[in-house]
Amino acid sequence: MAKKPPRSRRPSDTVNESIADGGELHQVAPSVETSLTTNQGLPVSDDQNSLKAGARGPVLLEDFHLREKITHFDHERIPERVVHARGYGAHGYFQAYEGNDELTKADFLCDPEIKTPVFCRFSTVAGSEGSFDTARDVRGFATKFYTREGNYDLVGNNIPVFFIQDAIKFPDLIHAVKPEPDRAFPQAQSAHDTFWDFVSLTPESMHMLMWVMSDRAIPRSFRMMQGFGVNTFRLVNAQGKVKLVKFHWRPKLGTFSLIWDEAVVISGADPDFHRRDLWNAIQAGDFPEYELSVQAVDEKQAEKLDFDILDATKIIPEEVIPLRPLGKMVLNRMPSNFFAETEQVAFCPANLVPGIDFSDDPLLQGRLFSYLDTQLSRLGSPNFQEIPINAPKNAWQNLQRDGHMRMRVDPSRVSYEPNSLDMAAPREAGPDGFQSIPIPTEGTKLRQRPESFADHYSQAHLFYKSLTEPEQRHVAGGFAFELGKCQELKIRRRMLGHLENIEPKLAEMVAEKLGMEGEADEIQPAVEVNRRIKPSPALSQYAAAPQTIAGRKIGVLVTDGTDAKLLDALVKKAKAEKATVEIVAPKVGGFTTDDDELRPADHFLGGAPSAVFDAVVLAPSAAGAQELLTTAAAVDWLRMAFAHLKIIGYTAEAAPLFEAANVDPDADEGVVVIQGVKVGDFIEAAKRHRIWEREPKVR
């Protein structure tokens, strides 16, 4: 008798089975009227798992339910992207380091003499094209490499994990986070019932939620944001040796974020904050640079890890498998036309080159279908690769013909292969072409989540445990704000139950902020949470943050009579540190310095709150300070900078503003008096980025 396959495990089983008394999470017994069906009316037995060849095997093309569900989802927006609609991109190049041929035969990763052209697009996920830059959200980080062997697309995010383990749940996730369909709001926000209802019933989301509720979801700029391939891929070298890899992008300037109150202010003052930052940096010749690295393991090493490497909700801690640098990317040119390039660029993780291949990660397997299907809808033609931004730089030729918007004219008589009528027609490349790695596959055809995917809390606990105290406070604040927007108490109680599994201290902080102490639902984890796991310092942005102001923006509040020599000294010192200075005056027409020189202002006070700067200097004249005291915006400028934990420099003439703003100029090391033109102490203090010790006093 054939062995009966194990029961298909749904992500919500651990929740449903753990709450025996309330009953609210238990599935209602289906009837003919309530059963979930396909568009053809066929009842669906399992809407949680793709059809695979074995629980850890590849997803099968015959999975009609997966294809129908994702095809419908891919075509829900015309012409805007369904996800990642709001994006901004730049051109540049990638250059490999020496010695990568031991790991891969990919030409662009092995030859240090090549500068491979790239186009990189950054984006938010949930908002529409017209939403704002600083929303709390995952950020897309997609790179198209125009290699000599064809285009390669590394399509990832600024967070190394994802909400779901199987692509069949992607439409549900995005439907939950998008504006609720009966009311069409909220826009570009996850702080509402449908999102938290879905994730609270999907325990596999817990690790990702920790990242999204942290400062990682509100980056300071695209130039200070990490990127990750998220899924597991394979690299193969010329000798056929294979490694499983995770891709990482690391910004040269370091990884920094906004804080929530600051992001809220910026969204109103400058909805294009991240776009403007990237544009201004490149126009100024301050080219963003990122290092591409991988974590590489062989199959035997992967089997010894305490999680499944095919599970996209898990990371490999860098202390377990260190990063191996492969090369650097420099972005040095903005598009000539936003629509023609940034809007029409079409990424697809199925775009590979020899030396790179897929794993059986079920999230990745679904993406391989979804991205191509999306481009067919969004760009309206199977010939979207002929759009210049998508066209490979090397010669391309095949026997595909016709279709909407075909641009290329093929004079040959034949459009099929094999043929004997046109000996010049393209032929198979044989061993020189792309060849999939011959990975053995054998398994029972079924819909099932492998048991190795069942631990949903240990790495969420690891993330929280690895953060600094201010970062932990911000995670609690993120959860409290978002859950506070949920009207349904049962959703908040479920999430508090999950948080207790992740970290009781975190659950207590969030419950206290919500006024719901002792109201958490009890949720039994499917796998015991590993609380003995060692912290991973690499997960913290600030545990070892670089002491630099490179790439930062210093705002200087001036008035008529401001010291010209001080301004010049500040600009010179900032430039030497690769930072920029921007002048904020009461009026946009400019100001007159103490030597009667009329100088332009970059901003007027009412249009540039201190939130848009990384550090600030108050340098009014004595008379100007008295005038500023009559302006609420000036007092708020200082008060807000202090509340946002910024480094504040000031001259003696600015002292009255501190009294008006109720800010102690001797409060901490982040408030620095500037005497004469000696700005060095302020610049050194600004390298600390923020004064975290101030936070408990102002919140």
Residues involved in catalysis: 84, 157
Vertex 588: Cα angle to 643 and 263 (nearest 5): 30
Q: How far is CA 647 from the centre of its chain?
A: 27
CB count within 10 Å of CB 234 equals 20
Vertex 578: Cα angle to 572 and 582 (nearest 5): 65
343 neighbors 81 (Cβ within 8 angstroms): no
CA-to-CA distance for 671 and 658, rounded, in angstroms?
11
CB count within 10 Å of CB 469 equals 10
Vertex 89: Cα angle to 88 and 91 (nearest 5): 165
Q: In 83-178, which ranges are continuous DSSP H helix?
A: 107-110, 170-177
254 neighbors 225 (Cβ within 8 angstroms): no
| Number of DSSP helices (H) and strands (E) in the chain, helices first | 21, 20
Strand partners, 59: 52
Closest to 162 measured CA to CA, from 218, 223, 229, 221: 229
CA-to-CA distance for 513 and 617, rounded, in angstroms?
34
Backbone angles phi, psi at 611, to 5 degrees: -60, -25
Lookup: tokens for 115 = 């500068």
CA-to-CA distance for 181 and 238, rounded, in angstroms?
51
CA-to-CA distance for 315 and 664, rounded, in angstroms?
44
| Side chain identity, residue 167 | A
Backbone angles phi, psi at 246, to 5 degrees: -115, 130
> Kind of pairing, strands 598-599 and 591-592?
antiparallel
11 neighbors 203 (Cβ within 8 angstroms): yes
CA-to-CA distance for 661 and 665, rounded, in angstroms?
10
| Side chain identity, residue 127 | G
Residue 146: strand, helix, or coil: strand
CB count within 10 Å of CB 186 equals 17
The C-alpha R_g of the chain, in whole angstroms, comes to 27
Closest to 24 measured CA to CA, from 12, 32, 11, 8: 12
Lookup: tokens for 577 = 């540190």
Lookup: tokens for 303 = 């089997």
Please give the DSSP secondary-structure letter assigned to residue 180.
Answer: B
The structure tokens 């011959």 sit at 438
Vertex 30: Cα angle to 29 and 32 (nearest 5): 145
How would you class 170 by CB atoms within 10 Å of its CB: exposed for 0-12, middle for 13-18, buried for 19 or more?
Answer: buried
The structure tokens 């079920």 sit at 362
Q: Could you tell me the CA-to-CA distances from 171 to 155, 174, 184, 217 in Å, in that order?
A: 18, 5, 17, 21
